[in-house]
Amino acid sequence: MIEVAQRQHSDDATAAGEGDAADAEADTPDAEADTDESLSKGEIFEVLRNQRRRYVLQYLKQDHRPVELGDLAQQVAAWEYDTTLEGVTPAQRKRVYTTLQQTHLPKMDAAGILCFDSDQGVIEGTERTQDISVYLEIVPGREFAWRELYLSLGAISCALVAALWLGIYPLTVLSNLSWTAIVAATFTLTAVAHVYHERNMRLGHGDQPPELSYGTDK
């Protein structure tokens, strides 16, 4: 299982469309992965650094059947513009449809992440579609990232050990064994919360992309 961690402080849905032109220029043959070999983390990140491609993977991991390009474009547009399937305008759908057809799907097909039949307009998942596990670490506003939370807990634990060694009151009211149990319980509960959160932040979990489920600031 390959994981890609990404930190996003904010993600404007309309910004994804504005970056399509730059993505098209960057999608050269040299960047395409060899489908006969395992993809590296760097190659996966290169393909899925674009929000629209992550939305495609989200859709395919939900529906294991071949999907029509029109249906895919409709759903991706609904996610991007924060509306329902019925609320997507023809212009929005066409914009997403065109960039998927000309840029994003061919690149993902070349990497073996999906199979795109451009003649029939059909997209089908491959073994890599389900094997690739993408975890998005989204930290809106001034919230702590998990790594920073663990670092803070570690620093507090070290300070506690030093205080107990110096015999600083009132920390000495509890025994060293009691403090050890408190620290161990704190790290365990934090790890449980982290695992639960990480599962919810993986593409394919839930009815919509984690970027939308988490409610990031726009």
Q: Are 134 and 54 in contact (CB under 8 A)?
A: yes
pLDDT of amino acid 185: 93
Angle at 80 between CA 205 and CA 140, to 5 degrees: 70
Distance CA(87)–CA(198), nearest Å, equals: 31
Q: Total structural domains in the chain?
A: 1
Query: Residue 126: inside a domain, yes or no?
Result: yes
Query: Residue 175: inside a domain, yes or no?
Result: no
Query: Residue 131: inside a domain, yes or no?
Result: yes
**Which DSSP category does 214 fall into?**
T
Query: Residue 185: inside a domain, yes or no?
Result: no
For residue 13, the one-letter residue type is A
Angle at 102 between CA 58 and CA 113, to 5 degrees: 40
Residue 173: CB atoms within 10 Å: 7
Pair type for strands 67-68 and 122-125: antiparallel
Query: Residue 124: inside a domain, yes or no?
Result: yes
What is the full per-residue pLDDT of the chain (218 aa) written as tens digits? 444 444 444 444 444 444 454 444 444 444 343 434 566 777 777 887 888 998 898 888 887 789 999 999 999 999 999 899 999 999 999 999 999 999 999 999 988 889 999 999 999 988 888 777 665 554 554 455 777 888 889 999 999 999 989 988 888 889 989 999 999 999 999 888 888 777 766 666 666 676 766 554 44
Query: Residue 90: inside a domain, yes or no?
Result: yes
Tokens coding 130: 């389900």
pLDDT of amino acid 75: 92
Maximum Cα–Cα distance across the chain = 76
Q: Which long-range contacts (CB under 8 A, 24 or more apart) does 97-104 make?
A: 97/69, 97/70, 97/73, 99/17, 99/20, 99/24, 99/52, 100/52, 100/56, 100/69, 100/72, 100/73, 100/76, 101/69, 102/24, 103/20, 103/23, 103/24, 103/27, 104/23, 104/50, 104/52, 104/53, 104/56
Distance CA(80)–CA(13), nearest Å, equals: 5
Query: Residue 113: inside a domain, yes or no?
Result: yes
Range of the domain at 38: 2-138+198-213
Among candidate residues 27, 39, 32, the one with its CA nearest the CA of residue 128: 39
Query: Residue 143: inside a domain, yes or no?
Result: no
Tokens coding 127: 């073994």
